[in-house]
Amino acid sequence: MSEISRADVEHLAKLAHISMTEEELTTMAGELAVIVDSVKTVSEAVSAEVPATSHPLPLTNVFREDVVGEVFTEEQSLLNAPDAQDGRFKVPAILDEE
């Protein structure tokens, strides 16, 4: 088991501004030791023969090609706009500006 001492946990708790009781510090030291050992075990399982993966199944791009199609002109875009000004959509202000 990894050596995570109660003092280590107390130090980390102070850095994180977490108040812990004596019992919680002792319990957390044991739990953190188990977590560190588990991570160590997983790290040992990694070898050069096993390629790194981000997903267990191969993924392919299912999106279509990004091809420019028919583009509206400025006039067509603003044709049904409730209000426009200087070639742009005009909308009500949502922030109070003074």
Contact 90, 83 (CB under 8 A): yes
The amino acid occupying position 40 is K
Per DSSP, the three-state class of 88 is strand
Identity of the amino acid at 6: R
Helix axes 22-45, 6-15, angle to 10 degrees: 100
Q: Whole-prediction pTM value?
A: 0.46
Q: Which pLDDT score, from 0 to 100, does residue 2 have? A: 67
Helices assigned H by DSSP within 1-98: 6-15, 22-45, 74-78
Please check whether residue 72 is in contact with residue 42, taking contact to mean a CB–CB distance below 8 angstroms: no
Residue 98 has a pLDDT of 60
**Contacts of 74 by beta carbon, 8 Å cutoff, 6+ apart:** 87
Level-2 CATH architecture, domain 6-43: Orthogonal Bundle (1.10)
- The pLDDT, as a whole number, for residue 64 is 83
Can you give the residue ranges of every domain in the chain?
6-43
- Counting as low any pLDDT under 70, the low residues of the chain are 1-2, 97-98
Query: Residue type for 89, please?
Result: F
